[in-house]
Chains A and B, each alone.
Chain A
Amino acid sequence: MDSCFGICGKDWVILASDMAVNRSIFTLKHDEDKIMQLNKFKIVAASGEQTDRYQYCNMMMRNLQLMEFRTGFEPDVESTAQFMRTELATALRKAPFQVNLLIGGFDELDGTAKMYWMDYLGTLQQVTKGAHGYAGYFVNSVLDNNYKKDMTLEEGIAALQKCVLELKTRFIINQPTFIAKIVTKDGVQVMQL
């Protein structure tokens, strides 16, 4: 069961996810990057069925690129999230994608960062912190306790590190590695948590 969670500040957003790919009783790999970079200022952390995750995220990325060529600029985070939601919702009653997403991005126009929580049914909500999967049970309380308005990026990273610690201590599934991606006005940075 994939863990993904994230936290959003005023002008930064961090999404984190585990890096394991499990099949029955095996861990196939420990270095799967489940956070896809959609374009210069947007990332999406996806959890759920492996192929659906890969297919859906790639399709979204390519469609957003096409939109960028057609219009001449990157759509903002809200538009991106709504577009992704529409695709999920349309597919829902035909061939549903079993992916839960956290979309994070930075809007150049007003200098703010935004984060959206979306589940596989197409439920979309803007949030400041969130999680998907079993991780939510462990991590939502940690995020609640450590979040405060106008927190700094460093405080955000520290909060996520506490989440990782919580999962490593209490979650039955062994997830040794976590990857985090940060979006700020300078674009996307990657770090290991």
Chain B
Amino acid sequence: MAGGYDRAITVFSPDGHLFQVEYALEAVRKGTTTVGVRGKDSVVLAVEKRATPKLQDPRTIRKILTVDDGVALAFAGLNADARVLVNKVRIECQSYRLNVEDSPTVDYVARFIARTQQKYTHRGGVRPFGISTLIGGYDNNGVPALFQTDPSGTYYAWKAAAIGKNAKSVQDFFEKKYVEDMDDEGTLRLALK
């Protein structure tokens, strides 16, 4: 038997569940509430401000990260996993630009993240990323876009989405209060509420 990295950790249960993925989703559910709202010409990503320990420098807490010119990412879940994943995405964006001489669409970025998260549910010796991401940005034609990915590797486009703690109640709130074609200020206000 070879070294040790070929045994799968994420395997099916008898009733068709991938428990590792579901546990990862549980980890996400415990993370800071993160919301994204897409308006007519803008996308707003907002993260709940957690109380920081007295001696910790609050400026070093980065929960909304720039991934490329015009694409930002906010996440809920394991900070370290996010750091690793964002690093991969940043490299991929620059690689895309080098090869294609054009900026990647938000859809491409979301698809890449989803693909990467899925790979880690498929390979031996690794566990899934314990984060869900909200990716907001602009495509070349100036249309704003908002995508969400989760540990299972699925990605969806949203008009307004919430992840992390209390995601369900925030999502319900959005369903009631979301209005099509909101202007920049409206989008911002809704996200902050």
Contact = CB atoms under 8 A, between A and B. Distances in A.
Nearest to A70: B90
Interface string B89-104: 0110011011000000
A59 interface: yes
B66 A69 contact: yes
Contact of A58 (B67, B90, B91, B98): B98
A62 interface: yes
B166 interface: no
Interface in A53-70: 58-59, 62-63, 65-66, 69-70
Nearest to A59: B98
B68 interface: yes
A46 to B, nearest CB: 16
Contacts of A69: 66-68, 90, 94
Contacts of A59: 98
A70 B89 CA distance: 11
Interface in B79-137: 87, 90-91, 94-95, 97-98
Contact of A63 (B66, B67, B68, B94): B94
Interface size band for A? under 10
A63 B95 CA distance: 9
A59 B98 CA distance: 7
Contacts of B87: 70
A87 to B, nearest CB: 14
Given A70-B87, A70-B90, A62 B67 contact: no
A58 B95 CA distance: 11
A62 B99 CA distance: 10
Contacts of A65: 94, 97
A58 B67 CA distance: 19
Contacts of B97: 62, 65
A115 to B, nearest CB: 26
A63 B91 CA distance: 9
B179 to A, nearest CB: 34
Interface in B1-24: none
Nearest to B68: A69
19 contacts: A58-B98, A59-B98, A62-B94, A62-B95, A62-B97, A62-B98, A63-B94, A65-B94, A65-B97, A66-B90, A66-B91, A66-B94, A69-B66, A69-B67, A69-B68, A69-B90, A69-B94, A70-B87, A70-B90
